[in-house]
Amino acid sequence: MKRVQWFIVLILAGMVFLTGSVNAQVTSALWGVDGDAWNTNGILRDFTHVGYKGGAEPIPDWTNAVSVLDYGAVPDDGIDDSDAFIAAISNCPSYSAVFVPKGRYLITKKIVIERSYVVLRGEDMYESILFFPKNVSEVYIETVGWNADDKVRNTVYDPWIKVTAGQEKGIENLAIEFREQRKIKNWEYIGANALRFQGDGGVVSNCWARNL
Protein backbone atom coordinates (compact mmCIF):
# COMPACT_ATOMS: atom_id res chain seq x y z
CA MET A 1 0.00 0.00 0.00
CA LYS A 2 2.86 2.37 0.85
CA ARG A 3 4.42 1.77 -2.57
CA VAL A 4 1.19 2.83 -4.24
CA GLN A 5 1.05 5.99 -2.11
CA TRP A 6 4.65 6.92 -2.97
CA PHE A 7 3.94 6.28 -6.64
CA ILE A 8 0.97 8.67 -6.54
CA VAL A 9 3.09 11.30 -4.79
CA LEU A 10 5.76 11.02 -7.49
CA ILE A 11 3.16 11.44 -10.24
CA LEU A 12 1.72 14.53 -8.57
CA ALA A 13 5.18 16.00 -8.10
CA GLY A 14 5.93 15.42 -11.79
CA MET A 15 2.70 17.14 -12.81
CA VAL A 16 3.57 20.16 -10.65
CA PHE A 17 7.04 20.29 -12.22
CA LEU A 18 5.62 20.13 -15.76
CA THR A 19 3.02 22.78 -14.97
CA GLY A 20 5.71 25.05 -13.64
CA SER A 21 7.80 24.52 -16.80
CA VAL A 22 4.86 25.37 -19.08
CA ASN A 23 3.94 28.45 -17.10
CA ALA A 24 7.50 29.70 -17.35
CA GLN A 25 7.22 29.85 -21.18
CA VAL A 26 3.86 31.50 -21.69
CA THR A 27 5.29 34.92 -22.62
CA SER A 28 5.52 35.20 -26.41
CA ALA A 29 8.71 36.55 -27.92
CA LEU A 30 6.60 38.10 -30.69
CA TRP A 31 3.94 39.68 -28.49
CA GLY A 32 5.68 40.21 -25.17
CA VAL A 33 3.72 40.57 -21.95
CA ASP A 34 1.27 43.29 -23.02
CA GLY A 35 2.19 43.82 -26.65
CA ASP A 36 5.46 45.53 -25.77
CA ALA A 37 7.52 43.39 -28.17
CA TRP A 38 5.13 44.15 -31.01
CA ASN A 39 5.09 47.89 -30.38
CA THR A 40 8.81 48.21 -29.73
CA ASN A 41 10.34 45.92 -32.33
CA GLY A 42 7.61 45.95 -34.95
CA ILE A 43 7.85 42.17 -35.30
CA LEU A 44 4.14 41.75 -35.96
CA ARG A 45 2.65 44.08 -38.53
CA ASP A 46 -0.59 45.86 -37.85
CA PHE A 47 -3.21 44.74 -40.40
CA THR A 48 -6.07 46.52 -38.68
CA HIS A 49 -6.84 48.63 -41.76
CA VAL A 50 -6.03 46.14 -44.49
CA GLY A 51 -8.38 45.83 -47.45
CA TYR A 52 -10.33 48.09 -49.75
CA LYS A 53 -10.49 51.56 -48.21
CA GLY A 54 -8.92 50.24 -45.06
CA GLY A 55 -11.59 47.59 -44.67
CA ALA A 56 -14.16 50.29 -43.89
CA GLU A 57 -16.26 49.70 -47.03
CA PRO A 58 -17.13 46.65 -49.16
CA ILE A 59 -15.60 46.33 -52.63
CA PRO A 60 -17.93 48.00 -55.17
CA ASP A 61 -20.26 45.82 -57.23
CA TRP A 62 -20.66 48.00 -60.30
CA THR A 63 -22.97 47.11 -63.18
CA ASN A 64 -21.66 45.39 -66.30
CA ALA A 65 -21.78 48.19 -68.88
CA VAL A 66 -20.00 46.63 -71.87
CA SER A 67 -19.01 43.15 -72.95
CA VAL A 68 -15.87 42.07 -74.75
CA LEU A 69 -18.24 40.39 -77.21
CA ASP A 70 -19.49 43.85 -78.22
CA TYR A 71 -16.02 44.64 -79.55
CA GLY A 72 -15.38 41.48 -81.49
CA ALA A 73 -14.19 38.89 -78.99
CA VAL A 74 -15.32 35.35 -79.79
CA PRO A 75 -14.52 32.73 -77.16
CA ASP A 76 -13.23 29.26 -78.04
CA ASP A 77 -12.43 30.06 -81.68
CA GLY A 78 -8.63 30.18 -81.30
CA ILE A 79 -8.43 33.69 -82.80
CA ASP A 80 -6.73 36.59 -81.00
CA ASP A 81 -9.15 38.55 -78.78
CA SER A 82 -6.66 41.14 -77.48
CA ASP A 83 -7.99 44.13 -79.41
CA ALA A 84 -11.54 43.45 -78.25
CA PHE A 85 -10.46 43.52 -74.60
CA ILE A 86 -8.44 46.70 -75.08
CA ALA A 87 -11.33 48.45 -76.87
CA ALA A 88 -13.91 47.34 -74.30
CA ILE A 89 -11.82 48.68 -71.41
CA SER A 90 -11.23 51.95 -73.26
CA ASN A 91 -14.95 52.46 -73.92
CA CYS A 92 -16.34 51.28 -70.62
CA PRO A 93 -18.14 54.06 -68.69
CA SER A 94 -16.71 55.04 -65.33
CA TYR A 95 -17.99 53.18 -62.28
CA SER A 96 -18.82 50.19 -64.47
CA ALA A 97 -17.47 46.78 -65.42
CA VAL A 98 -16.27 45.15 -68.63
CA PHE A 99 -18.01 41.78 -68.79
CA VAL A 100 -16.16 38.65 -69.95
CA PRO A 101 -18.67 35.83 -70.62
CA LYS A 102 -17.71 32.19 -70.12
CA GLY A 103 -15.27 30.80 -72.64
CA ARG A 104 -11.57 30.70 -73.50
CA TYR A 105 -10.10 33.90 -74.95
CA LEU A 106 -6.76 34.07 -76.74
CA ILE A 107 -4.65 37.05 -75.62
CA THR A 108 -1.37 38.03 -77.30
CA LYS A 109 -1.13 41.73 -76.34
CA LYS A 110 -0.74 43.44 -72.98
CA ILE A 111 -3.98 44.45 -71.29
CA VAL A 112 -3.24 47.73 -69.51
CA ILE A 113 -5.88 49.31 -67.29
CA GLU A 114 -4.91 52.97 -67.06
CA ARG A 115 -8.35 54.43 -66.34
CA SER A 116 -9.75 54.70 -62.85
CA TYR A 117 -13.21 53.46 -61.83
CA VAL A 118 -13.39 50.42 -64.09
CA VAL A 119 -13.48 46.66 -63.49
CA LEU A 120 -12.56 43.73 -65.74
CA ARG A 121 -15.03 41.06 -64.62
CA GLY A 122 -15.46 37.49 -65.79
CA GLU A 123 -18.74 35.62 -65.60
CA ASP A 124 -17.12 32.71 -63.75
CA MET A 125 -13.68 32.43 -62.19
CA TYR A 126 -13.23 28.91 -63.58
CA GLU A 127 -14.90 29.27 -66.97
CA SER A 128 -13.98 32.82 -68.07
CA ILE A 129 -10.46 31.96 -69.20
CA LEU A 130 -7.75 34.25 -70.54
CA PHE A 131 -5.20 32.11 -72.36
CA PHE A 132 -1.73 33.50 -73.06
CA PRO A 133 0.05 31.24 -75.59
CA LYS A 134 3.34 33.14 -75.30
CA ASN A 135 5.43 34.62 -72.55
CA VAL A 136 5.83 38.38 -72.33
CA SER A 137 9.53 38.18 -73.19
CA GLU A 138 8.71 36.49 -76.48
CA VAL A 139 6.56 39.41 -77.62
CA TYR A 140 7.97 42.51 -75.91
CA ILE A 141 11.49 43.78 -75.24
CA GLU A 142 12.32 43.42 -71.58
CA THR A 143 13.64 46.11 -69.24
CA VAL A 144 17.09 45.25 -67.94
CA GLY A 145 18.37 46.59 -64.63
CA TRP A 146 21.23 46.01 -62.24
CA ASN A 147 20.80 45.07 -58.61
CA ALA A 148 23.84 46.61 -56.95
CA ASP A 149 23.19 44.95 -53.59
CA ASP A 150 23.10 41.41 -54.96
CA LYS A 151 25.46 42.20 -57.85
CA VAL A 152 23.21 40.47 -60.36
CA ARG A 153 21.59 41.44 -63.62
CA ASN A 154 17.84 41.82 -63.27
CA THR A 155 15.57 41.28 -66.22
CA VAL A 156 12.18 42.86 -65.56
CA TYR A 157 9.15 41.81 -67.56
CA ASP A 158 5.85 43.62 -67.52
CA PRO A 159 2.88 41.34 -66.87
CA TRP A 160 0.21 40.53 -69.43
CA ILE A 161 -2.37 42.41 -67.35
CA LYS A 162 -1.14 45.61 -65.74
CA VAL A 163 -3.07 47.99 -63.49
CA THR A 164 -1.33 51.37 -63.48
CA ALA A 165 -1.48 54.37 -61.15
CA GLY A 166 -4.97 55.48 -60.22
CA GLN A 167 -7.79 54.28 -58.04
CA GLU A 168 -10.90 52.12 -57.98
CA LYS A 169 -9.79 49.47 -60.50
CA GLY A 170 -10.57 45.79 -60.20
CA ILE A 171 -9.89 42.39 -61.75
CA GLU A 172 -12.52 39.77 -60.90
CA ASN A 173 -13.76 36.25 -61.64
CA LEU A 174 -11.18 35.22 -64.22
CA ALA A 175 -8.96 32.21 -64.85
CA ILE A 176 -5.49 32.95 -66.23
CA GLU A 177 -3.88 30.19 -68.24
CA PHE A 178 -0.39 29.82 -69.72
CA ARG A 179 0.98 27.13 -71.98
CA GLU A 180 2.53 24.10 -70.38
CA GLN A 181 6.31 24.18 -70.13
CA ARG A 182 9.14 22.86 -68.05
CA LYS A 183 9.85 24.73 -64.82
CA ILE A 184 13.25 26.42 -64.83
CA LYS A 185 15.42 28.15 -62.26
CA ASN A 186 14.45 31.40 -60.56
CA TRP A 187 16.70 33.73 -62.56
CA GLU A 188 16.06 31.92 -65.85
CA TYR A 189 12.30 32.39 -66.15
CA ILE A 190 11.16 33.95 -69.39
CA GLY A 191 8.37 36.25 -68.37
CA ALA A 192 5.17 34.32 -67.71
CA ASN A 193 3.78 37.03 -65.45
CA ALA A 194 0.00 37.34 -65.23
CA LEU A 195 -1.00 40.42 -63.26
CA ARG A 196 0.62 43.37 -61.51
CA PHE A 197 -0.58 46.52 -59.81
CA GLN A 198 2.20 49.03 -60.44
CA GLY A 199 2.15 52.80 -60.19
CA ASP A 200 5.31 53.56 -62.20
CA GLY A 201 5.86 56.77 -60.26
CA GLY A 202 2.23 57.22 -59.26
CA VAL A 203 0.05 55.64 -56.61
CA VAL A 204 -2.24 52.65 -57.00
CA SER A 205 -4.96 53.02 -54.38
CA ASN A 206 -8.21 51.28 -53.48
CA CYS A 207 -7.80 48.69 -56.22
CA TRP A 208 -8.48 44.97 -55.95
CA ALA A 209 -8.08 41.51 -57.44
CA ARG A 210 -10.42 38.72 -56.35
CA ASN A 211 -11.66 35.34 -57.47
CA LEU A 212 -8.78 34.65 -59.82
At residue 202, the pLDDT reads 82
pLDDT band at 160; cut points 50, 70, 90: confident
Q: Is residue 147 classed exposed, middle or buried when 0-12, 13-18 and 19+ CB atoms within 10 A define those classes?
A: exposed
Q: What is the DSSP string of 83-109?
A: HHHHHHHHHPPTTEEEEE-SEEEE--S
Name the β-bridge partners of 104: 129
At residue 108, the pLDDT reads 93
At residue 2, the pLDDT reads 52
For the full predicted model, state whether its pTM sits above 0.75: no
Mean pLDDT of the residues in the chain: 80
At residue 32, the pLDDT reads 76
Phi and psi at 121, nearest 5°, equal -130, 120
Cα dihedral sign, 180-181-183-187: negative
* pLDDT of 158 higher than 80: no
pLDDT digits (tens, 9 = 90+) for 181-211: 777 776 566 656 788 888 877 888 899 999 9
* pLDDT of 128 higher than 90: yes
At residue 31, the pLDDT reads 73
At residue 9, the pLDDT reads 46
pLDDT band at 88; cut points 50, 70, 90: very high
- Domain spans of the chain, in order of start: 2-41, 61-210
At residue 147, the pLDDT reads 54
